[in-house]
Structure 1
Amino acid sequence: MTKSSENDFTTKGNILNSALELIKTEEGLENITLRKIAALANVNVALINYHFGSKDKLINEALKVLLASFRETFLILDNLSIPPKERLKAFMVQYVNSVLKYPGLVREIGKGNISFESQFEYKNYMETTGFTIIKDTIKEITGEKNPDILFMMMMQIHAAIFFPSLMACKKNVSFIWNPIPIEEQIDYLFEHYFAKYF
């Protein structure tokens, strides 16, 4: 690697890391500007455009990096020495805690603001996020074989845990209840949701 390409790589990484930091600290992606990113990365705006083409492309790249980093939390689901219900709970606790570091990220995913260049890239994203592993774990718990029902169950469990957690961490939102710790929420959900399987 030449000195010039090393500098480009370092600068590009620095810009991307600055965008990631702003995603973590800003209230909404719409509040992140190229000027804020440039100031944090100690570069000029033209250099950001050179490396990424636009703010949207940079933010999109940063969001994909964040999503890929959550893949690590799925590793618990691969540990077959732990009973499936306990694996799913451990995964959910770890995943909620990871996601809550970047609440704006979930909002952007919900809005459909992460775009993929091709079907291959989207397929790769879906595989790396581990949704198949979650469905397989639910299948192991319930014995359900219908993929549509498994997907529905996965989405219901996801919504039941993540929605209250995200609402509780929002600023300027008066919540009508004091959320109990995530572990207790999951125990309560599983006790009722999976009752007929035990």
Structure 2
Amino acid sequence: MNDQDARNRIIKAAIDILDEVTDVDKVTVRQVAERAKVGTGLINYHFKTKNNLLGIAVGDVMAKMATSFVTSDNYAKLEPVTKLKTMLKELYSFAKRHEKLVKFTITHGILNGDMETPLFLVPVLKDIFGNQKDEIDLRILALQILLPIQIASISPSKFHFYSGINLHNEEQRNIFIDTLVDNIVKQ
């Protein structure tokens, strides 16, 4: 077994365990090691901390969702703005079902300076703006869309108090996403 195979098995084991638990804090490195059939030292070698591993695992699931969405034939026929809104709504639905895990991942990502997640929005923004915006402009727009969603997701109750939008209500959540995207796209 090479290093990359072991790393992938560890991530897969972490994802599988995260699907089974409701509390991220109860996941242990030992559980992941047993599931991946590796020693705990190998997990520490690849990921340094349990939080890094779990952040990567949840981020990996969401990244695969975003990538499959962008490349899926089901969504290829959608107008680009509708595609972006639909992608964000589907990712948010996943996030709502796994709220504790996603809060952990968002917080972990923000604290560690994650700048990879917004890149998943760039291809769709490129479809929207064509040659009107360069790569840097598209990356900034991706941040302008993603960061408010992430911040609101960390504390939905505080966001509800601030905005009057209940993110646990799908209709209100969809209005939030539509408004956010429309405001950015119409700039």
Q: State the TM-score, normalizing by the size of structure 1.
A: 0.58
Deviations 1:66-96 (A, max 9, x none): 3542322333599453212211111111122
Cα distance in structure 2, aligned partners of 1:154 and 1:113: 15
- Following superposition, the deviation at residue 112 of structure 1 comes to 2.0
**In the alignment, structure 1 residue 49 sits paired with structure 2 residue 45:** no
Within the candidate set 24, 29, 34, 2:29 is matched to 34
Within the candidate set 75, 80, 83, 1:84 is matched to 80
**Cα 1:61–1:78, aligned 2, differ >3 Å: closer, same or farther?**
same
Q: Is the 8 A contact 2:14 2:32 kept in 1?
A: yes
**Cα 1:67–1:52, aligned 2, differ >3 Å: closer, same or farther?**
farther
Paired amino acid for 1:110? I
**Can you give the 5+ residue segments of structure 2 that lack an aligned partner in the other structure?**
none
Write the mapping of 1:111-190 to structure 2, written as runs, cut at 5 A: 111-112=111-112, 130-140=120-130, 144-168=132-156, 175-176=160-161, 177=164, 178-179=166-167, 180-181=169-170, 182-190=173-181
Paired amino acid for 1:112? N
Q: Which has the larger radius of gyration?
A: 1
Cα distance in structure 2, aligned partners of 1:187 and 1:166: 19
Q: Give the structure with the higher percent helix.
A: 2
Cα distance in structure 2, aligned partners of 1:18 and 1:81: 35
- Secondary structure in 2 matching 1:73: helix
Cα distance in structure 1, aligned partners of 2:105 and 2:12: 15
Q: Is the 8 A contact 2:14 2:57 kept in 1?
A: yes
Cα distance in structure 1, aligned partners of 2:181 and 2:159: 27
Q: Which residue of 2 aligns with 1:106?
A: 106
- Following superposition, the deviation at residue 153 of structure 1 comes to 1.9
Cα distance in structure 2, aligned partners of 1:133 and 1:50: 35
Q: Which residue of 2 aligns with 1:94?
A: 90
**Cα 1:79–1:109, aligned 2, differ >3 Å: closer, same or farther?**
same
**Cα 1:105–1:61, aligned 2, differ >3 Å: closer, same or farther?**
closer
Q: Is the 8 A contact 1:84 1:137 kept in 2?
A: yes
- Following superposition, the deviation at residue 136 of structure 1 comes to 0.5
- Secondary structure in 2 matching 1:82: coil
Q: State the TM-score, normalizing by the size of structure 2.
A: 0.61
Paired amino acid for 1:89? K
Q: Percent identity?
A: 13
Q: Is the 8 A contact 1:48 1:54 kept in 2?
A: no
Q: Give the total of aligned pairs.
A: 168
Q: Which residue of 2 aligns with 1:72?
A: 68
- Following superposition, the deviation at residue 57 of structure 1 comes to 6.9
